[in-house]
Every structure is written in C-alpha cells, then in structure tokens.
Structure 1
Amino acid sequence: MKAFWTYTLARLAVFAACFVVIWLLSQIWLESTTVANIWVLLIALVVSSVISVFLLAGLRDRLAQDVHQRATRMTDRIEESRRAEDID
C-alpha cells in the first residue's frame, strides 16, 4: 500500500507544480477568466501526464510489482482454500 500512496502523492505533486507554473505564465499573457483557468487546468493535466511517464517510471514499476505480488498472494490463498475444500 505504501507504493500506491507514494506514487499517488508524486503524481499530485507533479500536477500541482505544472499547474502553478502554467497558471503563473498565463497570468502574464492572458486575462484571468474562467475559460482561461479551464485551459490552464487542461494543459497542466496533459503536461503533468507526459512528465510523469518519464519522471515517475521507477515508482510506477514498484507499484505494479506490489500489485502483482498482492494478486499472487490472493490467488495462492484462493487455491489453498479450494484444495482444502477438495480434501473434506
């Protein structure tokens, strides 16, 4: 579960940093309107996604490994339960 929270918080941090930078840049060139803020949000989502693909690859691999280990343990427990039912 630690890998999940680490990756999630890292993604949020990358998004927040992108949003702040893009918002500050938009304040220089654009008027502050709702439409401009929505565009800033959308651009920040896209930019942070692209950055996260490269920057957070290691964290994403650890998360995938953790999920795979949990799924393997759960499958093993289910199979163990099935074998125990077959014996009875």
Structure 2
Amino acid sequence: MDTLQLVKDFLAERLEVPGDKVVPEAELSDLGVDSLMFAEMLFEFEDRAKVNIDITSGEVLPKTVADLVTLIDAHLSQAAPAAGGAGT
C-alpha cells in the first residue's frame, strides 16, 4: 500500500488539493487539514487499511505530509503480522 498516494487521493477528494502540492515536506495546515479533517483522514485510512490508528493524548500530531505517512506506516507495520493470518 502506497501511503503517500492514499494521502494524495484523500486530499484531492475531500479538499480538492492538487496532487503535485501533496509532497512530503508540505505542511498539513497549508493544505487545509485542520483537526477535524485530520480525524476524518485517520478514520478513512483505518477503513481502507483495516487497522486501528490510535493516537494517545500525549502523542504529537503530524505537522507535515511526511509525518502523517510515517505515522500511518508505523501502524500498518504493527498490524501486518496480525493481518497475515486473516484470509479475505
């Protein structure tokens, strides 16, 4: 799964952000992502990837696209061994 492409697709669908603007160093706030949109994004990724992305109150929220991709990829890699035995 290409996480950066997922972020690009989400931002294009929800905020009409052109794909060329969604680069790793781009600030999420500059792309129009506020706290509500961030939560919606996480729910969307959870649904698509069939993982639980649990942000604890002490965790620092991602500021850039790269931070978001890293956060999602970390949860995907933790879920991968558990998902390996489930057939769909």
User: How does the TM-score come out when normalised to structure 2?
Assistant: 0.33
Structure having the higher helix fraction is 1
Which structure carries more relative contact order (alpha carbon 8 Å, separation 6+)? 1
Rg: which structure is higher? 1
